[in-house]
Structure 1
Amino acid sequence: MQVPEGFASVCVDDTFWEPFGLGTIAASAVRRRLPIDPMSAPPFPSDPRSRRDLLLFFLAAFVVLAAGMGLRDPWPADEPRFTLVAEQMVESGQWLITHRGSELYSDKPPLFMALQAAAFTVTGHWRIAFLLPSLLAALGTLFLVYDAGRRLWGARVGLYAAGALLVTFQFVYQAKRAQIDPTVTFFITLANYGLLRHFLLGPDWRAYWLGCFAAGLGVITKGVGILALLMFVPFLFARWRGWNGLSPIRGGGLHWLGGAVAFLLAVGLWIVPMLLAVHASDSPEHRAYMNDILFRQTAGRYTDSWDHHKPAWYYLGVIAASWLPLALALPGLVPKWRERLRARDARFLLPLAWIVLIVLFFTLPKGKRDVYIMPALPMFALVAGPFLEDLIRRPWLRWLAFALSLLLAGLFLGGGFAALGGGWARANALVVQRGLADGGVALWHLMIAIGAAALAAAVVFRVRRAVTGLVALLGVIWLLWGLWAYPVLNASTSASDVMRRTEQLVGDGELGLVAWKEQNLLLLDKPATDFGFLKPWHTQLGASIRWLEAAPDRRWVFVLGRAMGPCVDRARAIHVGNANRREWWLFRADAVTPACRGGQVPVIGEETEDSPNEE
Structure 2
Amino acid sequence: MHHTRYVRRLPPLSWLWLLAIAAGFLGVGLGLRDPWPADEPRFALNALEMLHTGQFWIPHRAGEPYPDKPPIFMWAMAGAIHLTGSVRLGFLLPSLVAALGTLALVMDLSNRLHGRRVAWLAGLALLSSFQFGLQARTAQIDMLVTFFITLGAYGLLRHALLGPDRRWWLLGCLAMGLGILTKGVGFLPLLMLPAWVLLARRGQAAPLTWRDLGLGLAVILGVVALWVVPMAVVTSFSDDPSLAAYRDNILFKQTGERYADAWHHVKPWYYYPVEVMPWAWLPLVLALPWLVPAWWRRARRLDARVMMPLAGLLLVVVFFSLSPGKRGVYLLPTLPLLVLAMAPLLPGLLSRPRLHWLGAAVLALFGSVFLAAGILGALGLPALARLAAYHGVTPWAWWSLLGLGALLLLAWCRPRHGLLALAGWLAVFWLSWSTWGYQLMDPARSPRDLMQAVVSRTGPSAWLAMPDFDEEFLLQARQPMVQFGYHTPDEAQFQRAFAWLHEAPDERWMLVPQHRDGALACADLALARDLGVQNGEAWWLIPGRAFAACAGDAAAAPLYTAPTTLAALPATRRN
TM-score of the pair, normalised by structure 1: 0.86
Which moves more between the two structures, 222-231 or 208-217?
222-231
What is the aligned partner in structure 2 of residue 537 from structure 1?
490
CA distance in structure 1 between the partners assigned to 2:239 and 2:498 by the alignment: 32
Contact 2:525 2:546 in 1 (8 A): yes
Distance change >3 Å, CA 600–CA 275, structure 1 → 2: closer
CA distance in structure 2 between the partners assigned to 1:602 and 1:571 by the alignment: 27
Deviation at 1:584, TM superposition (A): 1.9
Report SS of the residue matched to 2:186.
Answer: helix
Contact 2:501 2:547 in 1 (8 A): no
Counterpart residue type for residue 541 of structure 2: L
Which moves more between the two structures, 169-178 or 383-392?
383-392
CA distance in structure 1 between the partners assigned to 2:548 and 2:60 by the alignment: 33
Distance change >3 Å, CA 600–CA 92, structure 1 → 2: closer
What is the aligned partner in structure 2 of residue 287 from structure 1?
244
What is the aligned partner in structure 2 of residue 466 from structure 1?
418
Contact 1:516 1:560 in 2 (8 A): no
2:372 to 389, 414, 419: 414
Pair 1:341-2:299 in alignment: yes
Q: Which aligned pairs between 1:70-219 and structure 2 lie closer than 5 A?
A: 70-219=31-180
CA distance in structure 2 between the partners assigned to 1:55 and 1:344 by the alignment: 31
Unaligned runs of 5+ in 2: 558-575
What is the aligned partner in structure 1 of residue 230 from structure 2?
273
Report SS of the residue matched to 1:567.
Answer: coil
Q: Which aligned pairs between 1:268-417 and structure 2 lie closer than 5 A?
A: 268-317=225-274, 318-417=276-375
CA distance in structure 1 between the partners assigned to 2:361 and 2:130 by the alignment: 17
CA distance in structure 2 between the partners assigned to 1:456 and 1:63 by the alignment: 25
Contact 2:374 2:400 in 1 (8 A): yes
CA distance in structure 2 between the partners assigned to 1:602 and 1:143 by the alignment: 53
Contact 1:137 1:182 in 2 (8 A): yes
CA distance in structure 1 between the partners assigned to 2:487 and 2:423 by the alignment: 44
Deviation at 1:593, TM superposition (A): 7.2
Report SS of the residue matched to 1:114.
Answer: helix
Deviation at 1:362, TM superposition (A): 0.7
Distance change >3 Å, CA 353–CA 305, structure 1 → 2: same
Contact 1:435 1:577 in 2 (8 A): no
Contact 1:80 1:522 in 2 (8 A): yes
Which moves more between the two structures, 277-286 or 226-235?
277-286
Report SS of the residue matched to 1:177.
Answer: coil
1:263 to 220, 223, 227: 220
Over residues 335-356 of structure 1, what are the superposed CA-to-partner deviations in whole Å (9 max), with x where a residue is unaligned? 1101000111111111111111
Pair 1:505-2:505 in alignment: no
Contact 1:515 1:563 in 2 (8 A): no
What is the aligned partner in structure 2 of residue 220 from structure 1?
181
Percent of matched pairs sharing the same residue: 42
Question: Runs of 4 or more off by more than 4 Å in structure 1?
Answer: 599-603
Which moves more between the two structures, 581-590 or 367-376?
581-590
Over residues 409-447 of structure 1, what are the superposed CA-to-partner deviations in whole Å (9 max), with x where a residue is unaligned? 11111111111111041x3233332334xxx2xx21111
Deviation at 1:89, TM superposition (A): 0.9
Distance change >3 Å, CA 71–CA 232, structure 1 → 2: same
Pair 1:234-2:195 in alignment: yes
Contact 2:30 2:88 in 1 (8 A): yes
Over residues 236-273 of structure 1, what are the superposed CA-to-partner deviations in whole Å (9 max), with x where a residue is unaligned? 12234x153x1266xx6544432122212321232123
Pair 1:523-2:482 in alignment: no
Contact 1:223 1:298 in 2 (8 A): yes
Which moves more between the two structures, 198-207 or 274-283?
274-283
Contact 2:502 2:547 in 1 (8 A): no
Deviation at 1:600, TM superposition (A): 10
Over residues 81-114 of structure 1, what are the superposed CA-to-partner deviations in whole Å (9 max), with x where a residue is unaligned? 1111111111111111111113211001111011
Deviation at 1:514, TM superposition (A): 1.5
CA distance in structure 1 between the partners assigned to 2:168 and 2:434 by the alignment: 36
Counterpart residue type for residue 211 of structure 1: G
Report SS of the residue matched to 2:511.
Answer: strand
CA distance in structure 2 between the partners assigned to 1:329 and 1:598 by the alignment: 62
Counterpart residue type for residue 66 of structure 1: G
Report SS of the residue matched to 1:411.
Answer: helix
Contact 1:194 1:211 in 2 (8 A): yes
CA distance in structure 2 between the partners assigned to 1:282 and 1:571 by the alignment: 44
Indicate the RMSD between aligned Cα atoms, in angstroms: 2.3
Counterpart residue type for residue 407 of structure 2: L
CA distance in structure 2 between the partners assigned to 1:582 and 1:177 by the alignment: 23
Over residues 153-187 of structure 1, what are the superposed CA-to-partner deviations in whole Å (9 max), with x where a residue is unaligned? 11111111121111011110011000000000010
Report SS of the residue matched to 2:390.
Answer: helix
Report SS of the residue matched to 1:225.
Answer: coil
What is the aligned partner in structure 2 of residue 580 from structure 1?
535
1:247 to 196, 201, 206: 206
Unaligned runs of 5+ in 1: 1-5, 20-48, 604-615
What is the aligned partner in structure 2 of residue 610 from structure 1?
none
Which moves more between the two structures, 268-277 or 553-562?
268-277
Counterpart residue type for residue 480 of structure 1: S
Contact 1:161 1:383 in 2 (8 A): no
Contact 2:238 2:244 in 1 (8 A): no
CA distance in structure 2 between the partners assigned to 1:564 and 1:514 by the alignment: 13
2:504 to 537, 544, 551: 551
CA distance in structure 2 between the partners assigned to 1:314 and 1:214 by the alignment: 29
Tell me how many residue pairs correspond in the alignment. Answer: 551
What is the aligned partner in structure 2 of residue 607 from structure 1?
none
CA distance in structure 2 between the partners assigned to 1:209 and 1:341 by the alignment: 27
Contact 1:433 1:579 in 2 (8 A): no
CA distance in structure 1 between the partners assigned to 2:278 and 2:391 by the alignment: 30
Contact 2:266 2:326 in 1 (8 A): yes
Deviation at 1:139, TM superposition (A): 0.4
CA distance in structure 2 between the partners assigned to 1:312 and 1:366 by the alignment: 7
Pair 1:58-2:13 in alignment: no
2:429 to 464, 474, 477: 477
CA distance in structure 1 between the partners assigned to 2:232 and 2:548 by the alignment: 47
Over residues 247-302 of structure 1, what are the superposed CA-to-partner deviations in whole Å (9 max), with x where a residue is unaligned? 266xx654443212221232123212312322453432211111110001100111
Distance change >3 Å, CA 401–CA 297, structure 1 → 2: same
Contact 1:576 1:584 in 2 (8 A): yes
